[in-house]
Chains A and B, each alone.
Chain A
């Protein structure tokens, strides 16, 4: 699965017009012009998209790349000084970058894996005839519809050291209080819980939609073949959901690399550097710090591009695995 080429908008532009005549080399330029005029309405119809895409996606994207090759201060954007890949080498030698990358990875794993597993299980339960299905569907979308700020503030309270509900529960069970915010693992777990809470329902709904497309007689056949519900889940549901699961993995991964709002607000004291010892500073927070605390825009732009490249690599790896599996199955 390649995300780009599945995009119908892209396909519509790159696919050759079906009636295009096999142009002889000599006559090619004229033919091409003729084709342009013949298709002018087609181009006119897709033009608005490309204008918007160019203005709000492509231009900022390329401009970020440009900035990332310069030393720029937020106070003096026009006084850019070309430094080549200096910002990138500096980034790779920066211990904060590696710390943030590590944090992003662990929080990403801690949130994505449980989130998708729980979503799959929830969808499976909801897929059986269940009373009040509409209610559950709405309920599952609620966290997604909640603002990050509100959710994070509430969870910040829950995970509070002295008066937090969770510590109260732990104490009730005879366990020690945990200083969730201060510890490396504990803070990352807490943030992962917030992310999981927000996105599980969303993913469950996507899975549920895909599950409802699985024909019921497959389950009946599996029942007659002696498969328990769990075996049916493994042998019928999961294989049928493979493309959907891959899609949610890609989307969650992109979200995880760009994680920003939850760790930003989790500290609860207005600090934006991801904890006293940067124990939950993600790449997104690092970039924010570089650009808006230290005013080094060039460095921040380089970090943004590094994040983009990481996403490309991860998604590319997913696509590669998927394609190899698809070929093996053929």
Chain B
């Protein structure tokens, strides 16, 4: 009933030379938790604010359910928003903050009291109802902001980095609580974050934005297993995927004097234009010391306890024809990790190799 649809929605700020959100197409299902993620300045907040009605839509349209809300004022959209800084009214108590929208809407006192009490119970805010925001901790304020949204029983929740003011531990705790709450209330939710871990753990689906353009919108698992382009491949996952470009040769891509095998058909399609080919592999999809393979030199070893991370560069036989911006990262057993400076060879497990066209940066299957 309360789906949300962006159709070619575009926002160009006055005096900006390029759109902050560029022809965004996105369909969010009823009761779904969709996470918008991307680097700083990619247009996440702008998209959310367009949906809220706080930002104009310069082209395209936005629908909530069957209703076209492109030009409706915010109050007619039946949405509630949790702001990054919570935006609690400083002179109102917690209860008044949560009940404000209902009071404006002319709901009866008893009704407001009942709904506020209910929300306070869900969020463990009962002891604080008579306090002012000033007298609350950051986590409590965050819950009040959530409560203010819940009390309204809106069609859509919008959250703009609601956890970014919390410390790391509380952030992890709260994100599971928010996800659980959302699943319990079954309200369509659009959640903005720049933290890909938050996105992956919380979202039913995750939409990745870059420079105002939607890169991919898929379930977290799909996003991880089948990134649509090199940007998504590098953005999702921690440590990031290794993305390397080298000359395409018979049977694969030549890296550091050795050939990393690439299935014939994909190799042909990816290298058709430039004769080069971009491959990607996750740190955990690598076998070390497997005899023949790509020679690398280990620069740094990070022991994480459960496993170890190796940061390596291509070995001495690097013929200067290979492009990779960062060190190669390999995740391995902590006990069998090679020492710093040790030359090793690496092989990528075949079904874990991602192939991209070096020109378009798009995935090749």
Contacts and interface: CB of A to CB of B under 8 A. Distances in A.
Interface of A: 215, 217-218, 220-227, 231, 235-236, 239-240, 242, 329-330
A240 B104 contact: no
Contacts of B148: 221, 225
Contacts, number: 58
Q: Which 10 A-B pairs have the closest CB atoms?
A: A225-B101, A239-B91, A217-B87, A221-B87, A226-B75, A226-B104, A223-B74, A217-B83, A224-B74, A227-B104
A322 to B, nearest CB: 14
B52 A224 contact: yes
B100 to A, nearest CB: 5
Nearest to B96: A235
Nearest to A242: B91
B54 A225 contact: no
20 contacts: A215-B87, A217-B83, A217-B87, A218-B89, A220-B87, A222-B89, A223-B54, A223-B74, A224-B79, A224-B80, A224-B81, A225-B75, A225-B104, A225-B148, A226-B105, A236-B89, A240-B90, A242-B91, A329-B132, A330-B132
Contacts of B174: none
Interface centre among A215, A226, A240 (most CB of B within 10 A): A226
Nearest to B52: A224
Contacts of B80: 224
A204 B89 CA distance: 23
Contacts of A226: 75, 101, 104-105
Given A224-B79, A224-B101, 12 more contacts: A217-B83, A217-B87, A218-B89, A220-B83, A221-B148, A222-B89, A222-B100, A223-B54, A223-B74, A224-B54, A226-B101, A240-B91
Contacts of B90: 239-240
B87 A231 contact: no
B75 A231 contact: no
Contacts of A330: 132
Given A225-B104, A226-B105, A235-B100, A220 B91 contact: no
A221 B91 contact: no
B85 interface: yes
A230 to B, nearest CB: 11
Interface string B40-56: 00000000000011100
B54 A329 contact: no
Interface in B117-160: 132, 148, 152
Contacts of B53: 224
Contact of A221 (B73, B83, B105, B132): B83
B79 A329 contact: no
Nearest to B76: A226
B115 to A, nearest CB: 14
Nearest to A225: B101
Contact of A218 (B52, B73, B87, B101): B87
A156 B54 CA distance: 50
